Amino acid sequence: MRRSERFVPYRLLAPALALELVLVLGPLLVGLWYSLHNVRFFRVRGFTGLENYTRLLESEEVLNALWVTAVFAFFALFLTFILGFALAMWLERDGRFNTAMRAVVLVPYMIAMLVGSMLLKWVFSQEGGLAPMALGPVGLGEVSILGDPKLAMAALVYNAMWRDGAFAMIMLLAGLKAIPPSLHLAARVDGAGAWMRFRRITLPLMRIPILITLIRLLVHFVNILTFPLILTGGGPSGATEVVVLKVFRLGFGDHLLGQANALALMVFLANLLLVGVLLALFRRAGRI
Amino acid sequence: MHGLILRRRIGRGLVNLLIAGFALFPILWGLSSSLKPTERIVEFPPRLLPDEPTLEHYARIFQDDAAFYILNSGLVSAATVVLTLILGALGGYALARYDFRGRSLTMMATVAVMSIPIASLLVPTFTLISVLGLYDTRLGLVLLYTAYQLPAAIWMLYGYFMSLPVELENAARVDGCSPTRTLRKVVLPLSKPGLVAAALFILVFAWNDFVVAVTMTSSQEVRTFPVAIYFYLGFYGREWGPLLAASLVSIVPIIAVFVFLQRYFMSGLTGGGVKG
C-alpha cells in the first residue's frame, strides 16, 4: 500500500460511520438525556436523575409488560426453533421440489409484519367466522380467541411461529449443509440409526449455528412490537402488552418521553447483552 | 414393496401439503375474503371461496388514494436502495481490500448494529428526529432506512468483494486509477449478483417497514403504503374488505420479486458468510 493511501479506508468508511453515529448512536444519547429529565411534549423541565427509571420499575404495568415479554419470548423461541429445525431437516436435500417448498415457507417471512399480523387477525377474529367454525364442534364456538388472555397469547406465539419459523429454517439449513455428508455415510455403515446420527453427528456439529439462531430469534422476540400492536393491540387488558409495546404507548400515546426513553434504554441494554453473546459466537464461528 | 414406496410417497406428500397450508392459508383466506361482497364477508358459516367474486374493495382503496401511497413507498424505497448501495459499496470495499487500524472493530460494530432491533430505538429516534427537524419528511425516512440497512449492505458486499480476484484491481491501479475509480470501473461491474442481492434485501425492508414510518411521519403527503393500511384499520373500522384488499396489494410486489429472484435472498438472510 502506498503511504499516501493510509487514509483511504477511513475515507471510504466515513459516510457510513457518520450516518450510523448520528442516527443510531445519536438517538441513544438524546434518549439518555431525556430519560434523566422530567419531560412533557418535548419540554425538558428539570433534571430528575433516575426518577423515571425507579418509577418505571415500581409500575404494575411495566412489571406486567416484562412478565408478558418473558412468557411470549419463551414460548415463541421454543416453538419457532423446533419448527424451524424440523423444516430444515425435512427440506434439507436440494432439489427442485424442496427449493420450491422452502420458498413457500418463506412467504410469511417476506411479507410485511403488519400485513401478516393483519391477515392472522382476520383468521382468528370472531367476525371472520373461521375460528368459531373450527372451534364449534368442540363446544368452544362462542370463545373469542383474541378476547381471552391465554388464547390471545397463544395467537401471538402462533404469529411468531408462522412468520419466523422459516427464518430459523434458513439459518439452520446453512448449518446442516456445512456438515460433510461422509460423516453420516460412515456412521450408517457402522450401523447407526437416524436418531443416533442426529444426536451424535448433527447436534454436536450444529452447536454454533443453533446458538446463533437461538440468540437472533430471542433478540427478535424480546423486541417484538408489530405482532401485538396489530394482532391483539396488547389486550385483552394488558395480557399481551409486551415491553416494547409499552415503550411505544408511553412515548407515542401518553407523550411521556422521559419515561418512554428510560424504558427504551433498559430494553436496549438487554439487547446489548444479547448482541454481545452473538458477537462472541460469530467470533467462535470464525466469521468476524 | 411397491405398496410401501407408494405409501411413503403419499405420506411425504401429505406432510408437504400440511406445511404449505400452514404457510399460505392465512394469505389465501385473506384473498378469498377480499373478493367477497361486503355483506358476504362476515356471513356464518363462512364460505371458503367467494361465490360471486367482486373487485369492489380493490376499487375502493384506489379511490382512497392507495396509488399515491404506493408511489410514495416506491419513492422512499428506491431512494433508500440507491443511497444504501453507494455507501455500502464504499464501506464494504474498505473492509475487503484494506488492512487498517480499527478494521476488526468496524466489523464487530457492523454486526452489532445489524443485530440491534429497530423497535427498541423508536422512541429515542423519534426524539432525535424531531430535534433535527426531520420529523414527517421523506428525507428523514430515507436516512433512517439507510442507517438501519447499511450495516447489512456493507456486510453482504464485503463478503462479495472478498470472493473476487484482486488481480484485475491491481492492474487498474498500476494504470493509474484511484481507489474509488477502481471500485466504480472494475469491481462494481463484476459485482452485479452481490449488488442485486443487497438491493433486494434493502428494497423488501423499506417496502415492508411499518413501525419506523408510522412513528416518524404524520401527514398524508409523506404516508407510505403500510402506514396507509394501518390507517385503513381505523378509518374503515370493522370493514375488513378494503383492509384485506390493501394488505394483498402490498404483498403482490414482494411475491413477484421473491419468486423470480429467490436465490439472491438466502445469502442476505443468514447474514452473509454462510452459504444457503
Instruction: Say which DSSP state A199 is in.
Output: I
Q: Taking 60 as the threshold, does the pLDDT of residue B276 lie above it?
A: no
pLDDT of residue B236: 65
With respect to residue B11, please indicate whether it lies within any of the assigned structural domains.
yes
Task: Give residue B221's identity as a one-letter amino acid code.
Answer: E
Inter-chain contact A127–B238, Cβ cutoff 8 Å?
A: yes
Q: Which among A27, A87, A278 has the least Cβ separation from residue B125?
A: A27
Residue type for position A183: L
Burial class (CB in 10 A: 0-12, 13-18, 19+), A145: buried
What is the helix, strand, coil percentage profile of chain A, to 5? 75, 5, 20
Question: B182 vs A103, A263, B139, B200, CA distance in Å?
Answer: 37, 47, 30, 25
pLDDT above 60 (res A187): yes
B2: in domain: yes
CA of A197 vs chain B CAs: smallest distance (Å): 21
pLDDT score of B274: 32
B15 vs A90: CB contact, 8 Å cut-off? yes
* Same domain, yes or no: B148 and B30: no
pLDDT band at B272 (very low <50, low <70, confident <90, very high): very low
- In this structure, the answer to whether residues B92 and B199 fall within a common structural domain is yes
In this prediction the pTM is: 0.88
Instruction: Please tell me the predicted confidence (pLDDT) of residue B142.
Output: 95
**B137 in the same domain as B19:** no
Q: Are A69 and A243 in contact (CB under 8 A)?
A: yes
Would you list the domain boundaries of chain A?
A: 50-284
- Alpha carbon distance B245, B239 (integer Å): 11
Total tally of structural domains belonging to chain B: 2
Copy the grid coordinates of residue B229: 393500511
Predicted pLDDT of residue B268: 58
Residue B132 lies in a domain: yes
Q: Is residue B204 part of a domain?
A: yes
- Provide the chain A residues 193-252 that lie in CB contact (below 8 A) with chain B: 209, 216, 219-220, 223-226, 230, 244, 247-248, 250-252
For residue A177, pLDDT beyond 90: no
Beta bridge partners of A43: A40
C-alpha pair distances (Å), A71 with each of A78, A124, A157: 11, 21, 10
| pLDDT tens digits for range B45-69 | 777 788 888 888 898 888 888 899 9
Query: Same domain for B84 and B145?
Result: yes
Nearest to B245 by CA among B21, B22, B27: B27
Residue span of the structural domain in which B17 resides:
1-54
Residues B40 and B76 in one domain: no
- The CATH number given to whatever domain includes residue B159 is 1.10.3720.10
Q: Say whether both B132 and B14 belong to one domain.
A: no
Assess whether pLDDT exceeds 70 at residue B267: no
Residue written as grid cell 426524539 = B127
Residue B41 inside a domain? The answer is: yes
pLDDT in the model for residue B273: 38
| B232 part of a folded domain | yes
Q: Answer yes or no: is B59 within a domain.
A: no
Is A170 in contact with B258 (Cβ distance < 8 A)? Answer: no
- Where residue B237 falls among pLDDT bands split at 50, 70, 90? low
Asked if residue A146 lies in contact with residue B245, where contact means CB atoms within 8 angstroms, the answer is no
What DSSP string runs through B187-231?
IHHHTHHHHHHHHHHHHHHHHH--HHHHHH--SGGG--HHHHHHH
The grid coordinates of residue A8 equal: 483511504
Vertex B53 angle, CA B51 and B57, to 5°? 135
ipTM of predicted complex: 0.87
For B149-198, what is each residue's pLDDT tens digit? 999 999 999 988 988 888 888 888 888 888 888 888 888 988 888 898 89
Question: Are B141 and B222 spatial neighbours (Cβ–Cβ below 8 Å)?
Answer: yes
Residue range B70-124, pLDDT digits in tens: 999 999 999 999 999 999 999 999 999 889 898 989 998 898 888 888 888 888 8
- Choose the CATH number for A50-284 among 3.40.190.10, 3.40.50.720, 2.60.120.510, 1.10.3720.10: 1.10.3720.10
* Region B216-232 average pLDDT: 90
Cβ–Cβ below 8 Å for B123 and A250:
yes
For residue B86, with 0-12 CB atoms within 10 Å meaning exposed, 13-18 middle and 19 or more buried, which class applies?
middle
